[in-house]
Amino acid sequence: MTPLFLLFTFFFASIVYYCFNTFLNRYPRPLPPGPKPWPIIGNLPHLGTTPHHSLAALARKYGPLMHLRLGSVHVVVAASASVASQFLKTQDANFSSRPPNSGAKHIAYNYQDLVFAPYGPRWRMLRKICSVHLFSGKALDDFRHIRQEEVAVLTRRLAGAGRSTLVNLGQLLNVCTTNALSRVMIGWRVFGDGDGLANPKSEEFKEMVVELMVLAGVFNIGDFVPALERFDLQGVAGKMKKLHARFDSFLNGIIAEHQSTGGKGDGVLQHNDLLSTLISLKDDADGEGGRLSDTEIKALLLDLFTAGTDTSSSTVEWALAELIRHPHILAQAQKELDSVVGKDRLVTESDLPHLTYLQAIIKETFRLHPSTPLSLPRMAAESCEINGYYIPKESTLLVNVWAIARDPAVWPEPLEFRPERFLPGSQYAHIDIKGNDFEVIPFGAGRRICAGMSLGLRMVQLLTATLVHAFDWVLPDGLMPEKLNMEEAYGLTLQRAAPLMVFPKPRLAEHSFCPAS
């Protein structure tokens, strides 16, 4: 048989299968509205290069509850706060697992991590470990000094860079967040002394994380048309396998170093780090899930190193970009910080509750630039009904977090950066961005809400407050603030298309940047 004949046979069989499958799909109630699918590949072409934008445009035509067919997979999209609350609150238990996907298979150790693990005893065990040892109120308070120390390291680097040194702020932020997290997780800095200026190791790690987020955000045709999976038409699976090998080597190195030093960072173990705890749980993990395996430990570390670093650093980068574009907002934030903190020391976490305007800036940044524009997919365990429409069993759910936070029916002037909308006495002052108010859900909501939300909030608040307080920011080449590039680069996380390149200009007393004696 010739290749042409085989190709013809394959596509003919696919069309017959598609038509037969469509004929059999008779449901007791109508499916939600949506665009007409193409044969075989369904609505995949409708997603475009920026799916959160494309899906928002489709929602304006078909409504806030849409149905798509991506290959052979039913997909429902929630694009309003009211619809999202029905899925993530009313139907939360039904949508608590993840659908099969190549990212979880090829990168996240075949679903053995926390983010993509099926809902059940193993997931609850991993979640409990993180909640108790890393993200509880006590753990966050215990490790407060580490976050403050790493932020102080960053400010010293920026202050010492000189006003003529152009810095890639996002890269330095990623070094800071990674080192702060790694000191808690494994007992020492991943990137040496924290100097992110021309640090090849930190640049490589940042590139790995960004590549992971980009690949994980791709709608891989093999996930939706099983017959095409083996062909890897987009080359996504191959890239994922190579990236997994790099991360696995990175994590193996960390574990080997931890074992060789006994968990002692600079020769002294200052706290019982998470990795020591995980290793101790290999033999006696409590709860329903049983013991931890070596692979589960690496999968959990992978989640924390990726989801816990780049999301925070990219959010702070967006916040600084918005403030540079709006000098009057930056000046008002600096005025508040000078009043609360003064100009003789750096911000501490104990200052944050007193910074009302700064808190509003953070909320507005999360509204306009959610770190995850499309929620991580969930899957219906059973069929259900939403707004009178039938949602079939095993349907994939996507919540367009980006579109919900820009809904003109909810937000006046939704595209404008206006922190005042969250100030006390305003219409939206009550919104807490922690999954209870569905108008802004940057961390998701329900059972699968981001496990590291509390840590992420603290890190974003502390970093943003410190950088706003300690420096003025000058753009290169006489670039006017209003001309700053604010385009997005789509991935699982929302990156800036162009990194924020700036000159830092210290505005505090010189001794403020010196290490505490």
**Would you state the pLDDT for residue 5?**
47
Looking at residue 268, what is its pLDDT?
43
Please report whether residue 390 resides in a domain: yes
Which residues 6+ apart lie within 8 Å of 91 measured at CB? 384, 386
Determine, yes or no, domain membership for 273: yes
User: CB-hemisphere CA count at 13 Å for 78?
Assistant: 30
pLDDT of residue 21: 53
Which pLDDT score is estimated for 14?
A: 56
For the record, the structure tokens of 353 come out as 């509750």
CA–CA distance from 291 to each of 121, 129, 135, 359 (Å)? Answer: 11, 12, 21, 41
* 328: pLDDT strictly greater than 70: yes
Q: Scanning the structure block, which residue is given the tokens 């007193």?
A: 354
Distance of CA 81 to the CA centre of its chain: 20
Confidence of residue 290 (pLDDT cuts 50, 70, 90): low
Count of CB atoms within 10 A of residue 214's CB? 18
Question: What CATH number is associated with residue 362?
Answer: 1.10.630.10
* Mean per-residue pLDDT of the chain: 90
Cα–Cα distance, 176 to 194 (Å, whole number): 7
Helix (H, G, I), strand (E, B) or coil at 466: helix
Q: Which one-letter DSSP state was computed for residue 341?
A: H
Q: What is the mean pLDDT of residues 337-342?
A: 98
Stretch 215-237: mean pLDDT, rounded? 94
Nearest partner of 78 among 414, 413, 426, 446, judged by Cα: 446
Comparing 3 with 308, the larger pLDDT belongs to 308
What are 228's two structure tokens? Answer: 């095409």
- Does 29 reside within a domain? no
Q: What was the pLDDT predicted at 482?
A: 94
Residue 517's pLDDT band, with cuts at 50, 70 and 90, is low
Q: Which long-range contacts (CB under 8 A, 24 or more apart) does 283-286 make?
A: 285/125, 285/129
Report the DSSP pairing between strands 384-386 and 389-391: antiparallel
Residue 5 resides in a domain: no
Residues 457-461 have a mean pLDDT of 97
Question: How many CB atoms are located within 10 Å of the residue 117 CB?
Answer: 25
| Residue 130 assigned ligand-binding role | no
DSSP label at 61? Answer: H
Residue 25 belongs to some domain of the structure: no
109 pLDDT band, cuts 50/70/90, is: very high
Is the pLDDT reported for residue 262 higher than 90?
Answer: no
Mean pLDDT of 43-59: 96
440 pLDDT higher than 60: yes
Other beta carbons less than 10 A from residue 430's beta carbon = 10
15 contact partners, CB below 8 Å, separation of at least 6: 39, 40
Q: What percent of the chain clears pLDDT 90, i.e. is strictly above it?
A: 77
Residue the block writes with tokens 């040194």: 165
Q: Is the confidence at residue 17, as pLDDT, over 60?
A: no
Can you tell me the distance from the alpha carbon of 51 to that of 490, in angstroms, rounded to the nearest whole number?
Answer: 8
Q: Could you tell me which of 103, 123, 275 has the C-alpha nearest to residue 185?
A: 275
Determine the pLDDT at residue 6.
Answer: 43
Q: What 3-state DSSP class applies to 471?
A: strand
Above 80 in pLDDT, residue 284? Answer: no
Q: Measured at the alpha carbon of residue 152, what is the angle toward residues 466 and 340, in degrees to the nearest 5?
A: 35
Residue 282, pLDDT score: 77
Alpha-carbon dihedral sign for residues 37, 50, 398, 385: negative
CB 468, CB 358: distance < 8 Å: yes
pLDDT at 267: 43
For residue range 152-193, list pLDDT tens digits in order. Answer: 999 999 998 877 899 999 999 999 999 999 999 988 888 876
- Per-residue pLDDT at 516 exceeds 80: no
Rounded to 10 deg, the angle between the 200-217 and 294-307 helix axes is 100
Domain limits at 311? 36-513
Residues 479 and 104: their CA atoms lie apart, in Å, by 42
Q: What stretches of 49-154 adopt beta strand conformation (E)? A: 65-70, 73-78
Going by their DSSP bridges, the two strands 73-78 and 396-399 should be labelled as parallel
481-515 pLDDT, tens digit each:
999 999 999 888 899 999 999 999 999 999 999 88
DSSP string, 79-123: -SHHHHHIIIIITGGGG-BPPP-HHHHHTTTTTTSSSSSPTTHHH
Q: What is the pLDDT of residue 200?
A: 75
Rama region for 71: left / alpha / beta (φ>0; ψ in -120 to 50; rest): left
Give the chain's domain count: 1
Residue 374 lies in a domain: yes
Could you tell me if residue 30 is inside a domain? no
> How far is CA 489 from each of CA 34, 48, 371, 426, rounded to the nearest angstrom?
26, 13, 12, 32
Residue 7 lies in a domain: no
Q: Can you give the pLDDT at residue 193? A: 67
Band (pLDDT 50/70/90 cuts) for residue 273 is confident
Going through 299-442 in order, the beta strands assigned E by DSSP cover 378-379, 384-386, 389-391, 396-399
Q: Which tokens belong to 244?
A: 């997994």
pLDDT attached to residue 380:
98
Mean pLDDT of 62-77: 97
**Res. 377: pLDDT tops 90:** yes
- Paired residues of 38 in beta bridges: 42
d(CA 126, CA 438): 26
Q: Which residue stretches of 326-396 are H helix?
A: 327-341, 356-368
